[in-house]
Chain A
Amino acid sequence: MALYFFTPFIAIILTILGGGIIFYILGFNPIEALKFYFITPISNLYGFSELLLKATPLCLIAIGLSFCFKSNNWNIGAEGQLTFGAIVGGGVALLFYNQEGFYILPLVILAGAIGGMIFALIPAILKTYFNTNEILVSLMLVYVSKLLLDYLVVGPWSNPEGFNFPETRQFSDSSRMPLLFEGLRIHAGIFLALAAVMLSWFILYKTYLGFQIKVSGLSLKTAKYAGFKGKTMILVVFMISGACAGLAGVGEITGPIGQLHRMISPDYGFTAIIVAFLGRLNPFGIIFASLVVALTYLGAETTQIFLQIPKYTGQVFQGMILFFLLASDYLLFFKVKILNLKKNELRH
């Protein structure tokens, strides 16, 4: 049990080692490069604010995903739910682009959550009533929502004064997340993430819904035998998950971005899958994991600036985390033994 929460740390250490080896092969001093990757980005206040800024959507989405994953529902399409949430929330923000009012931001946020929820309901309904595979459907819907966003920002919603750039108008200040500190980009969305952590902990460990999710995740046979309403539960966990992704999306566009354009998310929805597992699907573990993974985004940017390595190293690091996590989980209970057998002895 203790090991179960320990393997994420093993995975992180192995990832750092693996990263060092890659830097070395690329011809850099590994210690130096790792320092640029993991230390430099958060060595000042601005960097730290950027870390929290990136961790916020990752944490929110991963919290939502943990509901799905814990109950054996494989929602892979959080990126799509994020995008659709941003579209709906952004649409509301655009409606009010020239108005002021305290009620606008809550409306925008709510719209974003509902958008994500509706988009997540599609794979859920198809799964419960038509027995489709939610992995495929939710994944394919990502591309649907991205293309829809593309169409909107190029076509009907593009900024009339924007010289045909593929982007919408800037949202009015009433649609923007309040900044927490002057000069830093960290915004009030972080409170949404923290609230989601608390709320999810409460739901997962203190309510009947949480109990049903837990049992279904451990044994679907038992859930059936106990008479849980399996279909309702699938719909509910997808809705929770979609709402969280939608909130993350709306947090991005009302926070650092301030408008809709093509690149509202550097694949937060996919990366959050890694966050969810690295955090052991535990609300507090997810906070920790989202900070670690957010750092891989920042590190990729600094190494690009200082060492001229493409920022896609970030994805390499994220991939390594997942790889080492799965490997250490799998090998945790294995004993390594060197066998010295002649080939045909194996056949006896």
Chain B
Amino acid sequence: MATDLRISNISKIYPGCVANDNVSLQFKSGKIYALLGENGAGKSTLVKILSGVISPDNGEVFLNEKNLKLSSPLDAKKNKIGMVFQHFNLFETLSVFENLSIDATEDNKGLRVRINEILKKYNFSIDLDVPVLNLSAGQKQKVEIIRCLLRSPKVLIMDEPTSVLTEQETEELFISLKKFCDEGILIIYITHKLKEVLSLCDEVAVMRKGKVVSVSQTQNEKVETLANKMVGQKLAKIKKKINISKNKDEIFKVKHLNFYSDDPFETNLVNLNFSVKKGECLGIAGISGNGQNELFQILSGEIITPDTSIIFRNKEISKLNPKQRREYLMAFSPEDRISQAAVPELKIYENVALNNFKSSNFFEKGLVNERKIKEHSKKILSDFSVNTDNVELKSQFLSGGNLQKLILGRELITAPELLICYNPTWGLDVGAINYIHETLIKINDQEKSTILISTDTEELLKLSDRIAVIYKGKLSKIMPSEEVTPEKLGVLMGGGSID
């Protein structure tokens, strides 16, 4: 039976922000719909309304002309609306089967039969009896999808599903989604990746600032046209000119980097060796969870490993803590903006004071020099076009993009010789991504070096001079980026080898 989902005049207003402004959309089964928009465009709010997590201030949702009262996630489930979130809701230490049986309505025997049917039908290869923590991100996502399929959904909503997947896994996902679609499940695909929209979806709705700005057939769209609709302004294309740095000095050299941990959630690192030249960007690609976290922390000095040798500007720094490394003009931008790089409960100027290098005089004789810190913070806010000039604002009120600008600004204020960043644009919208990319390129232009650890291959190809891939704690050989293609990276990131 055909499914018809209609959203009618939905509005949701938060204090100081209209998240959804009179949104009306119509979806019919047999097609895959993309919901495209920057962060903060109102996609998540809309999805949360559809899945019953929040209630709209105004407007209605109709499923096959039946007015749905979605006041809790339970209601969404009852009405056969399934949701796969970006972050998985699985118990890591329980087996796949146990995870699926938690909210099942039938006995274990019947459930196992039905799961096996689904596995067979869609060619999923997952061992039901291994703990979820042993699964790859793609497999975990499949478990989530199976959980939805077990309820024979009419609508399946996928929220940024590819952010953790390899290229290979993404392709597999697309094949499955197309199959679901053929079987009459209505699919709504939320993303800010333009290429995915073009390759997967039939129709695309673009949201901007809470409003639907366009609904169109994807066959009539191109990456550029969609990007312009999404951002609302012409985007200048940036492409880095490759730094010809064959004869330049090596400013940073890592030898025998080993890390061993008993923690099953950490990755061991095995004998990493690499170096960075002056003015160069070294990209380190990989699917998240292959040792990037550990590598970043060792490079920043949060973890000290015994036998590693790290030479920076001809000095051995492997035993220094992050603060001491900063004095030697290194800077760090970790992946986790909210609980590591900055503290949301702190005011902007207090977060700036976290980078307390000696010449800053932020703290004189152990006392806080608030005036100095605030002066400095004001400069960062304006130099890095953060959309506020109030240094007393708590950082939790900054959007991801603005927070990242603040962090980069804070790290760059010392004019560091080497910046190490890990997923600097993770979860940001196109405008902020461009800004950050331009900033990173500018750093290289000024003959300063960067190490870019990233899970975004496009970003790596755009910014790096040389690229290596980290897989299961081992580093591939380092390649000049003009020799690297996305396909090559994909193979290496998935554990394959190239010659």
Contacts and interface: CB of A to CB of B under 8 A. Distances in A.
Contacts of B315: none
B457 interface: no
A99 interface: no
Contacts of A226: 322-323, 354-356
B137 to A, nearest CB: 22
Nearest to B350: A211
A50 to B, nearest CB: 39
Nearest to A209: B366
Contacts of A347: 103, 105
Interface string A212-226: 001100110110111
A226 B300 CA distance: 10
A266 to B, nearest CB: 36
A125 to B, nearest CB: 20
Nearest to A225: B340
Interface string B37-58: 0000000000000000000000
Given A206-B368, A225-B341, A227-B321, A215 B336 contact: no
Interface in A199-250: 205-211, 214-215, 218-219, 221-222, 224-229
Contacts of A343: none
A348 interface: yes
Contact of B300 (A225, A228, A348): A225
Given A221-B336, A222-B354, A348-B74, A207 B342 contact: no
Contacts of B400: none
B148 to A, nearest CB: 14
Contacts of A208: 356, 363, 366-368
A180 B355 CA distance: 48
B78 interface: yes
Given A208-B367, A209-B366, A225-B341, A215 B323 contact: no
B302 interface: yes
Interface residues of A, number: 24
Given A225-B334, A227-B326, A348-B105, A219 B339 contact: yes
Given A215-B350, A222-B342, 17 more contacts: A207-B367, A209-B366, A211-B350, A211-B353, A211-B363, A214-B346, A214-B350, A218-B345, A221-B336, A222-B341, A225-B332, A226-B356, A228-B323, A344-B105, A345-B74, A346-B74, A348-B78
A225 B342 CA distance: 10
A206 B74 CA distance: 50
B324 interface: yes
A221 B302 CA distance: 9
B302 A348 contact: no
B301 interface: yes
A206 B323 contact: no
Contacts of A218: 343, 345-346
Contact of A227 (B323, B341, B346): B323
Interface string A287-319: 000000000000000000000000000000000
13 contacts: A208-B367, A210-B368, A211-B350, A215-B354, A219-B340, A222-B341, A224-B322, A226-B322, A226-B355, A227-B323, A347-B105, A348-B74, A348-B77
Contacts of B103: 347
Query: How would you classify the secondary structure of chain A's contact residues: helix, strand, loop or mixed?
Result: helix
Nearest to B303: A224
Q: With a 10 A CB-CB cut-off, give which of A205, A214, A222 has the most chain B CB atoms.
A: A222
Contacts of A222: 339-343, 354
B275 to A, nearest CB: 24
Contacts of A219: 339-340, 343
Given A211-B363, A211-B368, A348-B105, A227 B343 contact: no
Nearest to A1: B394
Given A206-B368, A207-B366, A222-B341, A215 B346 contact: yes
Q: Which residue, A211, A344, A345, has most C-beta atoms of chain B within 10 A?
A: A211
Nearest to B336: A221
B397 to A, nearest CB: 13
Contacts of A345: 74
A123 to B, nearest CB: 24
A214 B366 CA distance: 15
Nearest to B370: A206
B408 to A, nearest CB: 15
Interface string A330-348: 0000000000000011111
A140 to B, nearest CB: 28
A272 B7 CA distance: 56
A225 B323 CA distance: 8
Nearest to B323: A227
Contacts of B334: 225
A65 B323 CA distance: 28
Nearest to B394: A1
A221 B342 CA distance: 10
Contacts of B78: 348
B499 to A, nearest CB: 39
B350 A227 contact: no
B324 A206 contact: no
A200 to B, nearest CB: 15
B141 to A, nearest CB: 23
Interface string B396-440: 000000000000000000000000000000000000000000000
A347 B103 CA distance: 6
Contacts of B74: 345-346, 348
A344 B106 CA distance: 12
Interface in B271-327: 300-302, 321-326
A89 B394 CA distance: 45
B407 to A, nearest CB: 11
B343 to A, nearest CB: 5
B346 A225 contact: no
A208 B355 CA distance: 12
B300 A206 contact: no
Interface in B203-260: none
7 nearest A-B pairs in the assembled complex, by CB-CB distance: A227-B323, A227-B322, A208-B363, A226-B354, A221-B340, A227-B321, A218-B343
A211 B324 CA distance: 18
Nearest to B320: A227
Interface in B68-112: 74, 77-78, 103, 105
B166 to A, nearest CB: 27
A210 B323 CA distance: 17
Contacts of B325: 227
B302 A224 contact: yes
Given A208-B363, A215-B346, A218-B345, A227 B339 contact: no
Contacts of B321: 227, 229
Nearest to A221: B340
B481 to A, nearest CB: 29
A206 B322 CA distance: 23
A222 B341 CA distance: 6
A101 B112 CA distance: 86
Contact of A207 (B345, B354, B368): B368
Contacts of B363: 207-208, 211
A222 to B, nearest CB: 5
A224 B343 CA distance: 12
Query: Max chain A CB contacts within 10 Å: which of B78, B321, B324?
Result: B321
A347 B336 CA distance: 35
Contacts of B345: 218
B292 to A, nearest CB: 15
